[in-house]
Structure 1
């Protein structure tokens, strides 16, 4: 793994840690919204280890029982590990404002992504910037409450 990849991964872990600390220190009063988007904690099962893994993400598009998350990894050329875990096991859980719910996930089809992408970018234009940084087609993941 290159030094840039290591630094990028370390930065992502640090941001996740800070986000969790804000939630913990505030007793859950702060940190459930970032950049105008609701945040959530995604709980997946490690595709190799089988261990429960968790990461903090934002959901730029959401409705009752449905959350859309973006596997952008800040425009990195690599898919986030949480996305690879979901590919191996689409059943997961998400925690939103302290409430944990089971979800079934799937990668948006090209038609679904074509419908969702303008909504995603309208909420946060950085996603469009991330797509220009990589040749990887950034996956959009739909999480639906089970």
Structure 2
């Protein structure tokens, strides 16, 4: 009789040490966190690493636009795009946690007039992003996360 080898579970997503307390608080409190995120809309985005292939979880502010969740690649005004953005470019399928709900999403990197209109809408809701944009030469990306059951993100 041959033994059946079990498939090992996928690795636990990597969470940057600076984000670990935020992720723990988010999960312990059904999506509610305090500190600088208090009162804001926060989600946990789990992507597949562009180079590592390993899952990575990042807490991000988000904005709703119809059936889409919009996230902004500001990286706090850094001159470089955040790692999660590169991950989504390489692997657009991702997972989002909002409160106690988990969704499979497809990332659509917006560009041109679509990106500009969405960024203007986001600045109207959260003016701090305009400050981030003023500090960097790169256009800060806006990524639309569309639940898999919603269909084509565009």
Please indicate the TM-score interval, normalised by the length of the shorter structure: 0.7 to 0.9
CA contact (8 A) 1:36 1:123 kept: no
- CA offsets, 1:22-76, max 9 Å, x none? 2245x326229936531100010011111111000011x2045310000000110
Give SS of 1:37's match.
coil
Tell me which residue corresponds to 2:109: 107
TM-score (norm 1): 0.81
Q: Secondary structure at the match of 2:103?
A: strand
* Greater strand content: 1
Show structure 2 runs of 5+ residues with no match. 1-15, 149-154
2-side partners of 1:24 and 1:133: how far apart? 33
Are the structure 2 counterparts of residues 24 and 99 from structure 1 closer, same or farther at C-alpha, using a change threshold of 3 Å? closer
Question: May I ask how many residue pairs the two structures share in their alignment?
Answer: 132
| Consecutive unaligned residues in structure 1, runs of 5 or more | 1-11
Distance 1:29 1:141 in 2: 21
| Structure 1 or 2: more helix by fraction | 1
1:7-22 map, 5 Å: 13-14=17-18, 16-22=19-25
Question: Over aligned residues, Cα RMSD in angstroms?
Answer: 2.1
